Amino acid sequence: MHLAHPGLKNPEYYVPGLPVDHVAQRYGISPAEISKLGSAENPYGASPKAKAAVAEAIESMHLYASWTAEPLRQKIADTYGYEPNQVICGSGETEVIALIIRAFCEPGEEILMPGPCFPIYHLFAEAEGRVPVLAHQATDRGTMAMDVDAYIDAITPATRIVFVTNPHSPSGTWMSEADVRRIVEAAPHALVVLDEAYVHYSGGPGYIHLAHDYPHLIVLRTFSKAFGLAGLRLGFGIAAPSIVDALLAVKPTWNIGQLQLAGGIAALDDDEHVERTVATIIDSRGYVQDRFEALDRFRMVPGSASNFFLVEILDPDIGSTQVFEGLLERGVIVKDGSVSFRGLDQRFLRCDVNLREHMDRLVAALADLP
């Protein structure tokens, strides 16, 4: 007997980057000799200010937090120049994505997304009985950048939600403000979702200000990356009050706890941690690009403005799963594009940008593959 709705008859699950202890046990490698480059985590760990605030908030764990996360909404609003009623908080940005799909697209309706894209978009859509439309034709296979004209052409009257990721995942490519505006303005009948999870690594402030200009736009951000709070689970969106009101109506009542509130509020004041992280990633990104020049079977796809990049496999005799497994045997964890991203097939891996020592280990492991 199958009691779940048809969209869950044969569910597909998100494939996260493998943990260090799994690889250490499977291959008998010391954890200190493993480079974890499959989860886009912060190389310096959590914001020190957030850690201190969370420790102090331990004594409040027995108390329900504000069901709207009001103290954090206020802090986010003050930080980015909005009002608290324009902010929605989630247990990770992924929860906000789930709420958006539930609130702004009815079962059977279409959600447009780039192809390939962050898999949560289409996984959540399918799990909720919505129809994901992956616009693979809008991705240039050489640069992996989006063809904005082709993406706009994919918007139809049936489109209810349009996802835009900037920097894009899995390529890390960057889109200009003018191009983002073109997409938003091409879909006045839909909700446009601008996902800026990795925006800190672009070296600029991003386009969070666009939520002032468009009543059908929501801009998403996460605390998991530059702030280093992936394990705390915290993200948010900024949009018109009418959009936020709808999301508040469908979210779990207490989805944010006292520790999340304390950590998020403190992290927004930890400029030193963010700036150190971003400077390291930008430096390592250029460093590893230079290191790839020595490889003849692999190409680092240029143009990443994120803390990850795509590696294209140029050797026709090997595929991404074979390379992925070979790297694991050498203590390097990446993402197999054929498993993690629809449309990448067996030709790509996604690799994090991290400290130089890990970039060296990645390049050495690729060079050592038979």
Average per-residue pLDDT for the chain: 97
Look at residue 300 and give its three-state secondary structure: strand
pLDDT value at position 2? 67
Question: How many angstroms separate the CA atoms of 366 and 370, rounded?
Answer: 9
Any idea where the domains of the chain sit in the sequence?
17-45+272-368, 48-270
d(CA 362, CA 13): 27
Secondary structure (3-state) at 162: strand
The conformational region for residue 309 under phi > 0 = left, psi -120 to 50 = alpha, else beta, is beta
- Report d(CA 260, CA 289) in Å as an integer: 36
User: Averaged over 137-163, what is the pLDDT?
Assistant: 96
Q: Which CATH architecture has domain 17-45+272-368?
A: Alpha-Beta Complex (3.90)
Domain 48-270 has CATH 3.40.640.10: yes
The mean-pLDDT minimum among 4-13, 166-175, 289-298, 323-332 falls in 4-13
For 318, counting Cβ atoms within 10 Å of its Cβ (0-12 exposed, 13-18 middle, 19+ buried), the class is middle
Residue 95's pLDDT band (cuts 50, 70, 90): very high
- Using CA atoms, how far apart are residues 148 and 183, in angstroms rounded to an integer? 7
When pLDDT is averaged across residues 94-117 and rounded to a whole number, the result is 97
pTM for this entry: 0.97
DSSP secondary structure, 223-236, as one string: SSSTT--TTT--EE
**How far is Cα 48 from Cα 26, in angstroms, rounded to an integer?**
33
**Strand, helix or coil for residue 12:** coil
pLDDT digits (tens, 9 = 90+) for 65-84: 999 999 999 999 999 999 99
Widest distance between CA atoms in the chain: 58
- Per-residue model confidence as pLDDT tens digits over 314-347: 999 999 999 999 999 999 999 999 999 999 999 9
Burial (Cβ within 10 Å: 0-12, 13-18, ≥19) of residue 178: exposed
Q: Phi-psi bin for 174: left (phi > 0), alpha (psi -120 to 50), beta? A: beta
